[in-house]
């Protein structure tokens, strides 16, 4: 019996990229290949790239440079780069500079990977009759109890700093029938938590709306309708989505977040608290719109935890403009913020229209101001959980000098740690909180 070929996947960036890598893994397995954790044992290495920041692309150059040396030891090694970097690199100017890369292709072309690998090495098994739509590929899950389900890819909104429309193309919404079939299949295989993904997930528009139930209570928002449909699936116990756009947070969507299986956490990107910055970013909402929206959500969901994305040091941001963001942060009392120091991305409107004129040291200072503010706010907010009982999806187990520990997320997406063995991994438990820090709550199972 021949030894199976092995693959090694490295994923950079967002949850969408992770879900795409799960689809690539299904292709490799369909070719009869096995996963390996060691790059040195791999016959195929695939890097799923991110282009959000320059540093993310720089890492790809660093990795592939190392693989040139690895290829000297294994001349048959095939190195592939996919994801957002080749997606936006239409002229292959970046791809031509990569060393030792055999295949360089955008995400949507992953369905051709088996054929390309077969052409490079006929000993690899080809896969025939693959559909052209890569989203039709069923992901290979690392944990059968948790899954990402992609609703859409691409974006039509062209925020001036963002490469997504160039890397992933314009918005494409998946078939509702296909999404519901995938969710039902996941439930049948033991999945209890689903995260719905999209570039602007709450702008999902079903291309086949006839598959919505006739008794679905929502009438205007297809995304709210979809949340209701997934709530009806037996076996699914927790539902989350990311990332929405403020302008599509309709009353129906806000209402649907009160459905019984929905987590009490919302990640709602704002990017800036200053109107001029928001206009230059082409965010299509202003400061007051966002604040009013947060207020409406808080009135409907008293205990909703709130996260956001913020960019500091965008083109022309003055100290006063940054202070508007600080003030908005204090007013919204975010539980978490993914704060980025602005970096130019070639091809975007910001590069063509504005000057990157905020000094790097000032960007770093502003980042630290928000980081410290976030830590102070979340520490104080987390103290309210002491003595409370929360629902926790236990995700992993580790052994330390102090015993065995289980870690997972509460319904508010707070990390929770308890003592216990790995028999409870993949289950939802009621946990009473005894101690709270910035990024971890500690307790015991009731």
Q: Mean pLDDT in runs of 10 for the chain (446 residues)?
A: 87 95 96 96 97 89 94 95 94 91 96 95 89 90 94 96 94 97 97 98 98 98 98 98 97 98 98 98 98 98 97 98 98 98 94 97 98 98 98 94 93 97 95 98 96
Helix spans in 271-425 (H)? 275-280, 287-300, 319-332, 349-353, 360-382
Position 165 scores a pLDDT of 93
> What per-residue confidence (pLDDT) applies to 2?
67
Q: Which CATH number fits domain 268-384: 3.40.50.300, 3.30.750.200, 3.30.930.10, 3.40.50.720?
A: 3.30.750.200
Q: Are 139 and 26 in contact (CB under 8 A)?
A: yes
Question: Which of 176, 200, 328, 23 shows the shortest CA–CA distance to 9?
Answer: 23
Report yes or no: 239 and 263 within 8 Å, Cβ to Cβ: yes
Q: What is the pLDDT of residue 129?
A: 73
Element (H, E) at 418: strand 415-419
- 6-134 and 386-445: same fold? no
* In the chain, where the domains are located: 6-134, 268-384, 386-445
Angle (CA) 260-188-215 rounded to 5° is 45
Assess whether the previous peptide bond of 243 is cis (omega < 30° from 0): yes
Q: b/e per residue, 177-203, with b = 16+ CB within 10 A?
A: ebbbebbbebbeeebbbbbbbbbbbbb
Q: What would the CATH number be for the domain defined by 6-134?
A: 3.40.50.12160
d(CA 311, CA 123): 48
pLDDT confidence of residue 112: 95
Topology at the third CATH level for domain 386-445: OB fold (Dihydrolipoamide Acetyltransferase, E2P) (2.40.50)
């Amino acid at each position: 019996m021949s030894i199976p070929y092995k693959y090694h996947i490295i994923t950079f960036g967002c949850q969408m990229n992770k879900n795409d890598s799960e689809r690539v893994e299904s292709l490799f397995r369909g070719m009869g290949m096995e996963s390996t954790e060691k790059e040195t044992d791999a016959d195929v290495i695939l890097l799923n790239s991110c282009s959000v920041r320059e540093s993310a692309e720089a890492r790809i150059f660093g990795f592939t440079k190392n693989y040139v040396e690895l290829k000297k030891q294994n001349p048959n090694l095939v190195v592939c780069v996919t994801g957002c970097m080749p997606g936006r690199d239409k002229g292959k100017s970046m791809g031509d500079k990569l060393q030792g890369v055999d295949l360089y292709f955008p995400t949507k072309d992953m369905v051709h990977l088996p054929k390309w690998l077969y052409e490079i090495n006929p000993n690899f098994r080809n896969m025939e009759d693959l559909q052209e739509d890569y989203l039709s590929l069923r992901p290979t899950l690392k944990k059968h109890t948790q899954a990402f389900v992609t609703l859409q890819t691409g974006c039509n909104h062209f925020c001036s700093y963002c490469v997504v429309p160039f890397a992933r193309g314009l918005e494409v919404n998946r078939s509702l029938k296909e999404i519901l079939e995938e969710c039902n299949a996941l439930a049948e295989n033991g999945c209890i938590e689903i995260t719905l993904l999209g570039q602007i997930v709450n702008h999902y528009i079903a291309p086949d709306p006839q598959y919505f139930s006739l008794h679905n209570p929502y009438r205007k928002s297809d995304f709210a309708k979809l949340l209701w449909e997934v709530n009806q699936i037996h076996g699914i116990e927790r539902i989350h989505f990311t990332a929405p756009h403020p302008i599509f947070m309709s009353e129906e969507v806000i209402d649907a977040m009160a459905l019984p299986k929905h987590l009490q956490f919302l990640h709602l990107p704002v990017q800036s608290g200053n109107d001029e910055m928001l206009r230059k970013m082409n965010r299509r909402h202003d400061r007051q719109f966002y604040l009013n929206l947060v207020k409406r959500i808080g009135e409907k969901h008293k205990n909703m935890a709130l996260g956001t994305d913020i960019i500091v040091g965008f083109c022309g941001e003055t100290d006063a403009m940054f202070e508007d963001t600080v003030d908005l942060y204090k007013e919204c009392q975010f539980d978490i913020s993914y704060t980025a120091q602005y970096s130019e991305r070639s091809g975007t409107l910001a590069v063509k229209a504005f000057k990157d004129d905020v000094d790097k040291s000032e960007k770093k200072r502003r980042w630290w101001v928000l980081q410290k503010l976030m830590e102070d706010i979340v520490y104080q907010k987390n103290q309210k959980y002491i003595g409370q009982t929360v629902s926790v999806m236990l995700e992993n187990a580790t052994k330390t000098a102090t015993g065995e520990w289980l870690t997972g997320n509460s319904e508010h997406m707070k990390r929770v740690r308890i003592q216990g063995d790995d028999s409870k991994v993949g289950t939802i438990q009621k946990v009473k909180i005894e101690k709270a820090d910035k990024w971890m709550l500690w307790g015991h199972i009731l």
